[in-house]
Amino acid sequence: MRAGHGARRLLPVPAVGEEGAQPSGCGEKEPGTGVPPSAGPDLGTGALSDPTRSPPALWGPAGAVPREQLPAAGTGSTRPPRRAGSSAAAAAGPARLKGPAELPGPGLLRTFVWLFLRGYLLHTHRLQLMSRRIYGPIWKSTFGHYQNINIGSPVVLEQLLRQEGKYPMRSDMALWKEHRDTRRLPYGPFTEEGERWYRLRQVLNKRLLKPSEALLYADAIGEVVSDLMVRLREERSRSPSGVLVGDVANLLYRFALEGISYILFETRIGCLKQQVPAETQHFIDSINLMFKNSIFATVLPRWSRKVLPFWDRYLDSWDTIFAFGKNLIDRKMKELEGQVERGKEVSGYLSYLLASGRLSLDEVYGSVAELLLAGVDTTSNTLSWALYHLSRDLGIQETLYQELKAVVPPDRFPQAEDIPKMPMLRAIIKETLRVYPVVPTNARVFYEKDIIIGDYLFPKNTLFVLAHYAMSHDETYFPEPERFLPQRWLRGYGSPHHPFSSIPFGYGVRACVGRRIAELEMHLALARIIQAFEVRPDPRGVEVTSVSRIVLVADKPINLEFIARPGAP
């Protein structure tokens, strides 16, 4: 269909620096799959592996590994490289490449048992860890309509992603496409593919992807952060204790949605007002309903769409999202026409898209609607988890506060230019994204060519599920992976990690287009909150853990106390 690139040489791991030497890359969501297929041992195998044992040392040192040194799937050892001078190897000739059917993996019955009877449907990220321990770094699985090859090793992931062609695909985004096709609406950057996708991304990347371009929106983000602080103080003052804020994730979700909407639409939509406008509230509710009904559409058979209400609710939710965005874009179009007639210069992201002439109006509608959903969960969930852990580790919180005091004068707020001088601030966000990757799985489909990984040949159109949670919790690269240790990202920390072991924003040309905006929002919001408050845990001692509902979220509301710091601006 399209000419692909050949497999590239694996690169060595860069030296670990202050930022941990990662590849660049808001992981794009997998709303169409909902539940990543991975499960326990196949029934009928006789001896079951112990799912509680520690993962074997499968991947060796944190460097690039040649193909012949990749671990054999389903084993706990790394094969030594074949010696070029070995007479036995020469006599044997080239090794036969195996097919996907020869990979280990759970059967349908075992998958059903683990997901629906053992309660892993909402803990599929944990199931990744168990599957990797049992089957090794690569395993096959079937879930719903999907036949998957699961990747649970950063070494294997690196070899896979370095074989990407010019137009890599995450998956076919079937559910999103069904809505667009049913309603005859345009595709956007998550649903488009091939050359059309590439053209879209080339336009959308401008004014967003480079750090210097993200700084164009620093004032807008700072304005929204200031409104967040106002709402935080209001919520705090309304509690009986005068310091407790309940369900901080809900407040931070509204902050993130207001922030990305302000950038995309160049107008405030009122998410942080005490009384949210009815139109905006309907929009927020529709986003939640769309993701909720995506799960049902993934796990239930297609015939059930005619007898159960989830499919109509799914379509109606998307209709509301599109209509909300279209209304704001049309408003901006009229405003721009007036500015051009008056000879005024236009600025802003939406103005750039509309004035560039490189996208049709339909393409702008489709792109903005999809971009709107891309970064909200990353910002809100990451900030919620970061505050939760800082409240429970006052030592780390104090280190961050002292860093802020050293960089930011006491009479002003943290600004974008302060962020590069605050390594602990950046490390806290990185560690939060490692422990709680917002999208615990991602996917790739290689339409252009066959793929070779180790001793396996995968035909084109194979769906690879990337088990990011398992990789970012790999104790080979992250000792004590369940512990929140931001210092592991600082310069001089003794444990190097593989550059593909934690890539929360994706990799390569499919990397999150809104990464720089999300990072700027998270850094500025966290810095402002810690500058103003000491954050303490829920006095009731409630422990919160993560569950997987397409994205990784808290299993119960995160309630925190915010104690005002004397003299804070």
Residues 110, 140 contacting (CB under 8 angstroms): no
Residue type, 117: L
For residue 304, the 8-state DSSP code is: G
Give CA–CA dist 215/417, Å, rounded.
Answer: 9
- If you search the block for the tokens 């069904």, which residue do you land on? 178
H or E element: which one contains 457? strand 456-458
The runs of H, that is alpha helices, within 77-164 are: 87-92, 108-112, 124-135, 154-161
> Could you tell me which of 387, 380, 430 has the C-alpha nearest to residue 256?
380
Residues 7, 162 contacting (CB under 8 angstroms): yes
DSSP assignment of 11-35 equals PPPPPP-TT--PPP------TTT-S
DSSP assignment of 231-269 equals HHHHHHHHSTTSSEES-HHHHHHHHHHHHHHHHHHSS--
- Strand-pairing partners, residue 142, are 147
Say whether 26 counts as a known binding-site residue: no
CA 237: distance to chain centroid?
33
- Taken as a whole, the chain contains a residue count of 569
Alpha-carbon dihedral 386, 389, 394, 396, rounded to 10 degrees: -60
Q: Count the neighbouring beta carbons within 10 Å of the beta carbon of residue 420.
A: 13
- If you search the block for the tokens 């070494």, which residue do you land on? 155
State the maximum Cα–Cα separation within the chain, in Å, rounded to a whole number.
82
Give CA–CA dist 190/308, Å, rounded.
Answer: 27
Give CA–CA dist 144/23, Å, rounded.
Answer: 32
Q: Residues comprising the binding site?
A: 512
Q: Residues comprising the binding site for heme?
A: 512
